[in-house]
Structure 1
Amino acid sequence: MGSAWGPEARSRSAWTSWCADLELKVGGGEISIDSLGEGRVHSGGGDVHVGAISSGTIKTGGGDIIVTVPPGIRVWQDLSSPLGDVISRLGGRGEPAEGQPHIEITARTGTGDINLS
């Protein structure tokens, strides 16, 4: 299976150590990724843990999202949880200058917490 984003996987739950580009869809289970280059991760209902990310979109219908960002990199964040807490421990890293490396993270959960650190 493949997509415009690279490898694609569909499962009830998933774990992977490292993937450069990934589109992952899980119907109802936990997703755990040690390191992700660029990707889209979606769980219908379950927690999503990403140990390190370069850029991506993470969504879960009901579950927590926990993402670790490499230190010193500027981050554009778009985070939403209508029925949970949204916590970003990244501090003020400032807006990236034109051409400067940065990470874009979009995280959405319906009923869980989002934690960026």
Structure 2
Amino acid sequence: MQEFTFETPEPAELSVEIGSGQVDVTADEVATSQVTVDGPGADDVTVTQEGRRIVVKSHKRSGLFSRHERVDVTVVVPTGSDLVVRTGSGDVRTSGRFGQGALTTGSGDVEASQFAGDVVSTAGSGDIRIAEVGGALRGKSGSGGVRIGRVAGAADISSGSGDLAIDGCGTESSFKTGSGNVAIGDTTQRVTVTTASGDVSVQGLRGGAVKIRTASGDVAIALAEGVPVWADINTVSGTVHRDIASAGEPTEGQAHIELHILTASGRIDLRHI
């Protein structure tokens, strides 16, 4: 096991890169950063500091069958620190509030807390879960699901076959999945959803424009009452059920909701919140 302590009176810039193992990072009200490296590959890890930047990097052992040994990295940094983590087959977990984030794993899960800035997260076959993003978010999983709390900026979220879910969108957002479901909480912004065979639900549409395209999935939308709705709804062999009161056509400049829905065989349900 290796242990390191660095003076960091201001938020740090932390970079962690390992081949196999787990990374746990906590942001706290501290003036020093602590790094602990454990596991069979602990001696193959270098930990350095240059100014605000702290770098944790594992190295392959030399030899005919060289590989990354498992490494478990635990770090505590000041609140507001920027974070970059890359793992080949390990999980990434964070707690506390960070600045910006870039979290990448090949076959592990990402479970992250709060970020004040932009976040990019990619998982090859694992799930991505992030509690809060104060900036823009780009999240992508190959076969896992993506679950996000609230995003203040633009969100671009996709998965090959996993489910996508977000509690709230701050600005224009895009969701795309091959065969997973898409669940959206509150939004007043422009949202685009594309899925081949998954269901789509919007729990609180209070304004903005929603464009949904699905081949065989169902669509369920809960709209704010009293807001005019402009709707363009098409289904080839599905059904449309409307349980909403008419608020009339929107006048020029009036706040309203736009719906663009296209399905091949899915059921479309519209109701009030």
Aligned to 2:156: 8
Whole-angstrom CA distance in 1 between matches of 2:167 and 2:246: 29
Partner AA of 1:22 in structure 2: S
1:102 counterpart = 2:253: no
If you compute each CA radius of gyration, which structure gives the higher value, 1 or 2? 2
Deviation at 1:108, TM superposition (A): 1.2
Which segments of 5 or more consecutive residues in structure 2 lack a partner in the other structure?
Answer: 1-137, 140-153
Deviation at 1:93, TM superposition (A): 1.5
Which segments of 5 or more consecutive residues in structure 1 lack a partner in the other structure?
Answer: none
SS of alignment partner, residue 223 of structure 2: coil
1:51 counterpart = 2:199: no
Which one of the candidate residues 20, 23, 35 is aligned to 2:174?
23
TM-score for both structures, normalised by structure 1: 0.89
Deviation at 1:64, TM superposition (A): 0.4
Deviation at 1:92, TM superposition (A): 2.2
Aligned identity (percent) is 31
Partner AA of 1:9 in structure 2: I
SS of alignment partner, residue 23 of structure 1: strand
Partner AA of 1:13 in structure 2: D
Deviation at 1:82, TM superposition (A): 1.2
Q: Deviations over 1:31-62 (max 9, x none)?
A: 11111232101111111011022221011111
Highest RCO, 1 vs 2 (Cα 8 Å, sep ≥ 6): 1
Partner AA of 2:178 in structure 1: G
TM-score for both structures, normalised by structure 2: 0.40
Q: Deviations over 1:79-101 (max 9, x none)?
A: 11111111222232211111111
1:34 counterpart = 2:185: yes
Aligned to 2:247: 93
Count of residue correspondences: 115
Partner AA of 1:33 in structure 2: I
